[in-house]
Amino acid sequence: MSKSNLTFLLFLLIPSIAEIIDASQFTITIPNSPFSLGRITFFFVGINGILSNKNRYINSNTRKGLLLIFLGGIIGAFFSDKIGLSLSRSIGTIILFFASTGIASLLNQNKFQKFIDFFFILNLIYVTYYVLKLTFSKGLNFISYSSLFLDEEAINHHIIGVNASVSCIYLALRFFYKKNQLSFLGFLTIFVGLATCFLSESRSNLLITLIVLFLILIFSKIKFFNIILVSIPSIFLIYIIFSKIAYQNDSLFQRFDITDTDYQQRTTAMRFEFLGSFLIEFFKFPFGKGVFGTEIQSSGFESTMIHNQYLTYVLSGGIIALIGVYLWITEFVTIFKYSIRRLKAISIFNHAITFSMFTFLLTLTTVEYSGLLFFLYVSFLMYLSENYKIKKN
């Protein structure tokens, strides 16, 4: 593909990345179209990628797995009360899924990789500024993000948490990981992501980011004693800084107060009850319930999501989707193991998106997330899968 054509395609992706960063502000709707401008341009760029690389990514288990998930959703739609809506949503998802295949084929291009760098830089800056602007809108009088969300003045904290987590991990490894070690600026970048998760009250993404940071240290060229020497003071410093902020607001303090066992149990125990309700629904509908049939009754809720994207897919597509989830996740595990064992054999770009991908996939165990960021990560994993097969052969 010529440089001018690639530049044109990257220009077309601007509405797509804008929608990923903040769909509430930057989504451009098209009259009489089921897709936004960002999704249309994502699809157009993806089709161009497929036409340029027709024979690639066919054997990817990610591709096979996700195709089974979405086909399962189509079959499950016929067992749904909303057959038409479930079918149309599943078909629309498959269209974006095929576009992801084409996007994956472009990721080998150096200019495209720089575009991904630009996206993650912009993403982290935006969500950090967004949270700081809202929570400190009255100067030093801190405002709880949850209260802003309840007043419909802020977007869901899960969206902020996901964007902050995946971006800070990617950027830290992409630019500040030298000789298998994370530099001070790398730690600082991840701290920015942690602070954004904390201020937006995203407990799950705060914990996930800490877990991924610890894994980065373990797999780095650092002795275990030095890891402890670095991690313990860092965690203590983070705790001190976050505690001082939390003391300014009762709501924020309670959300992260692990000594308040009653609150923590009330807000997290329901997740385990959701699992029981999921199993009941799955055995009642082994072939799925369609995209619009994935709500459950649990913990006093008449209708609620499971807060787990994988289980939601299984409820939608039944046994077929379950097989798809297995293929999808096992392929990533294989790629992840290969990457950490052969750090010198993979590029720093691949290393960065591998750990960012790991962060994203962990997040999907705590929330449903099917926006354009999901399809971008589908592209990443298919790209990593193809690179893995080439290097292995």
Which whole number is the average pLDDT over 332-361? 88
Report the percent of the chain where pLDDT is more than 70: 81
> What's the burial of 342, exposed, middle or buried (CB within 10 Å: 0-12/13-18/19+)?
exposed
Task: Please tell me the total count of domains within the chain.
Answer: 1
Q: Minimum mean pLDDT among 141-145, 203-207, 299-303, 364-368: which range? A: 299-303
CA angle 345, 349, 352 (to 5 degrees): 100
Task: Provide the CB-side half-sphere exposure for 55 (13 A, CA).
Answer: 0
Question: Per-residue pLDDT tens for 268-320?
Answer: 666 777 787 888 888 988 998 888 878 777 666 666 778 889 999 999 999 99
Residues with Cβ within 8 Å of residue 208, at least 6 apart in sequence: 165, 359, 362, 363, 366
Give residue 225's pLDDT: 58
Compute the radius of gyration of the chain from its Cα atoms.
Answer: 21
Contact 291, 91 (CB under 8 A): no
CA nearest to 370, candidates 169, 159, 164: 159
Please report which helix (H) or strand (E) contains residue 304, including its range.
Answer: strand 301-304
Please count the residues of the chain.
Answer: 393
Sorting pLDDT into bands at 50, 70 and 90, what band is 151? confident
Six-digit token pair at 151?
């007043």
Sorting pLDDT into bands at 50, 70 and 90, what band is 129? very high
What domain range includes position 249? 3-392
Rounded Cα–Cα distance for residues 337 and 149 (Å):
39
Rounded Cα–Cα distance for residues 242 and 194 (Å):
10
